């Protein structure tokens, strides 16, 4: 098995230079770095990750705690995180917190005990124990998709990366209002999640912008799940004055809403218009095709890695929240004719 000394001889450099290239402990001239990397490839040299971690106090690994990995949205985020980590020479350790506050804290502790250099976490609706643990142990962390509240002093303690939530829902509501709808309902997500509260805020703002009253009975919680959304949609359809248009706040709830509509024998958009937050790969295969808000899922994952690596490089810099814009994908479930144009970037009504 080739050693660092073998690599050094082949590249014509010192063992110390090979170490600096491997561990990024000192700047190395580009042509020298290239010679070392080429020698490693030629000899088939594999660095001893454990030994490197003892020297650098870094394992070059990232802990990722994300619930519902089977959800296409989080699957794409995971792909973005993996690609970003690999690009920078980091491996991933993945855990599913199941959106349970106690389990969330446990899996994050287990990842921390595996000496990951930092964490990327999609927090639950009640992340108190999680936040306390991360703060007490000074774990470099980026919160993903869902943001947590800002402390009383107004200074966020953790970096956060997510999509815009309020403006895109406002866009959907005003679009439906522009088509003549006056009773527009929302199937919202899990209470307590920032994504839920922000999308409800966007819904209310959309109604206000369109000059429509806000009726609490037209907001039902589908808890970000298919079965719960099916029940929530059935409740909305049972109102004395049911909605003529429906906005669903994530892809799983869109499926549940469609099931409830089918159970009632209702057609989209003839009987009720439908717009959804979260585009997904087969949205354009539905009949009618789904008008949707597409989140930049992979970009969110890759950006979370970049922000985490910036935190590792500069531990004392102020925390920041990065919000990425979404795309309005105009199809036919809203009641419009098929659109030949490309999806519209941005979310301004």
DSSP string, 78-141: HHHHHHHHHHTT-EEEEE--TT-HHHHHHHHHHHHHTT-SEEEE---S--HHHHHHHHHTT--E
Same domain, 194 and 277: yes
Give the mean model confidence (pLDDT) for residues 13-23.
84
Beta strands in 23-157 (DSSP E): 61-65, 91-95, 118-121, 141-144
Q: How many CB atoms lie within 10 A of CB 318?
A: 8
> In the chain, how many domains are there?
3
* Stronger pLDDT, 73 or 348, i.e. the higher one: 73
Name which of 107-116, 303-312, 333-342 the model is least confident about: 333-342
List pLDDT tens digits, range 46-78. 766 545 544 545 678 999 999 866 677 888 999
Same domain, 158 and 137: yes
Q: Report the pLDDT value the prediction gives residue 74, as an integer from 0 to 100.
A: 87
Residue 82, phi-psi category: left (phi > 0), alpha (psi -120 to 50), beta (remainder): alpha
Q: Report the pLDDT value the prediction gives residue 134, as an integer from 0 to 100.
A: 93
Same domain, 288 and 315: no
* Stronger pLDDT, 150 or 178, i.e. the higher one: 178
Give the 3-state secondary structure percentages of the chain, helix then strand then coil, rounded to 5: 45, 15, 40
Write out the residue range of the structural domain in which residue 100 sits: 61-162+297-324
Same domain, 308 and 276: no
Give the mean model confidence (pLDDT) for residues 25-50.
82
Q: Report the pLDDT value the prediction gives residue 256, as an integer from 0 to 100.
A: 96
When pLDDT is cut at 50, 70 and 90, the band that residue 349 belongs to is very low
Q: Using DSSP bridges, classify how beta strands 219-221 and 159-163 pair: parallel, antiparallel or unpaired.
A: unpaired
Average pLDDT of the chain to the nearest whole number: 89
Name which of 119-128, 245-254, 339-348 the model is least confident about: 339-348
Q: Report the pLDDT value the prediction gives residue 50, as an integer from 0 to 100.
A: 47
Q: Report the pLDDT value the prediction gives residue 287, as an integer from 0 to 100.
A: 78
Q: Is the four-CA dihedral 53, 55, 57, 58 of positive or negative sign?
A: negative
* Residue 117 vs residues 41, 68, 95, 107, 142: alpha-carbon distances, Å: 26, 24, 15, 15, 12
Same domain, 174 and 250: yes
When pLDDT is cut at 50, 70 and 90, the band that residue 32 belongs to is very high
Domain containing 26 — which CATH number?
1.10.260.40
Domain containing 131 — which CATH number?
3.40.50.2300
Same domain, 131 and 270: no
Q: Report the pLDDT value the prediction gives residue 348, as an integer from 0 to 100.
A: 44
Q: Report the pLDDT value the prediction gives residue 271, as an integer from 0 to 100.
A: 97
When pLDDT is cut at 50, 70 and 90, the band that residue 200 belongs to is very high
Give the mean model confidence (pLDDT) for residues 11-18.
90
Same domain, 148 and 187: no
**Could you give phi then psi for residue 305, rounded to 5 degrees?**
-65, -45
CA distance 145 to 68: 13
Q: Using DSSP bridges, classify how beta strands 91-95 and 118-121 pair: parallel, antiparallel or unpaired.
A: unpaired
Q: Report the pLDDT value the prediction gives residue 2, as an integer from 0 to 100.
A: 82
Contact assessment for residue 200 and residue 188, using Cβ atoms and an 8 Å cutoff: yes
Same domain, 212 and 197: yes
Contact assessment for residue 59 and residue 53, using Cβ atoms and an 8 Å cutoff: yes
Q: Report the pLDDT value the prediction gives residue 177, as an integer from 0 to 100.
A: 98
Same domain, 45 and 68: no
Q: Report the pLDDT value the prediction gives residue 58, as an integer from 0 to 100.
A: 64
Give the mean model confidence (pLDDT) for residues 15-28.
81
Give the mean model confidence (pLDDT) for residues 227-243.
97
Residue 337: burial class (beta carbons within 10 Å; 0-12, 13-18, 19+): exposed
pLDDT at 318 over 60: yes
CA distance 231 to 220: 9
DSSP 246-263: EEESSHHHHHHHHHHHHH
pLDDT at 237 over 50: yes
Residue recorded with tokens 């000899």: 43
Give the mean model confidence (pLDDT) for residues 138-153.
83
pLDDT at 346 over 80: no
Give the mean model confidence (pLDDT) for residues 311-331.
94
Q: Kindly state the percentage of the chain with pLDDT values over 70.
A: 89
Same domain, 38 and 77: no
Same domain, 14 and 97: no
Q: Report the pLDDT value the prediction gives residue 155, as an integer from 0 to 100.
A: 55
- Structure token digits, residue 45: 């040299």
Same domain, 158 and 192: no
pTM as predicted = 0.80
Q: Kindly state the percentage of the chain with pLDDT values over 90.
A: 70
């Amino acid at each position: 098995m080739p050693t660092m000394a073998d690599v050094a001889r082949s590249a014509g450099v010192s063992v110390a230079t090979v170490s600096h290239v491997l561990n990024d402990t000192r700047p190395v001239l580009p042509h020298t770095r290239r010679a070392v990397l080429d020698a490693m490839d030629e000899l088939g040299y594999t660095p001893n990750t454990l030994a490197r971690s003892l020297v650098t106090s870094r394992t070059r690994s990232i802990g990722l705690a994300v619930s519902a990995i089977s959800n296409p949205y989080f699957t794409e985020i995971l792909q973005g995180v993996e690609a970003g980590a690999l690009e920078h020479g980091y491996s991933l350790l993945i855990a599913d917190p199941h959106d349970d506050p106690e389990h969330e804290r446990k899996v994050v502790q287990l990842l921390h005990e595996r000496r990951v250099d930092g964490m990327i976490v999609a927090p639950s609706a009640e992340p108190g124990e999680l936040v306390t643990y991360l703060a007490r142990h000074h774990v470099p962390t980026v919160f993903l998709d869902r943001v947590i509240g800002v402390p009383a002093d107004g200074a966020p303690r953790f970096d956060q990366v997510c999509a815009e939530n309020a403006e895109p829902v406002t866009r959907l509501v005003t679009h439906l209002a522009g088509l003549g709808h006056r009773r527009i309902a929302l199937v919202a997500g899990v209470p307590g999640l920032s994504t839920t509260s922000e999308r409800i805020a966007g819904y209310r703002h959309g109604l206000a912008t369109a000059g429509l009253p806000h009726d609490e009975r037209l907001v039902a919680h589908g808890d970000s799940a298919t079965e719960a959304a099916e029940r929530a949609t059935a409740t909305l359809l049972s109102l004395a004055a049911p909605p003529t248009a429906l906005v669903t706040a994530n892809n799983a709830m869109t499926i549940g809403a469609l099931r409830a509509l089918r159970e009632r024998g209702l057609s989209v958009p003839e009987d009720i218009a439908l717009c959804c937050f979260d585009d997904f790969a087969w949205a354009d295969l539905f009949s009618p095709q789904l008008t949707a808000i597409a989140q930049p899922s992979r970009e969110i994952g890759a950006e979370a890695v970049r922000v985490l690596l910036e935190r590792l490089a500069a531990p004392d810099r102020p925390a920041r929240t990065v919000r990425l814009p979404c795309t309005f994908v105009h199809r036919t479930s809203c009641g419009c004719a098929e659109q030949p144009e490309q999806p519209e970037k941005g979310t301004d009504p």
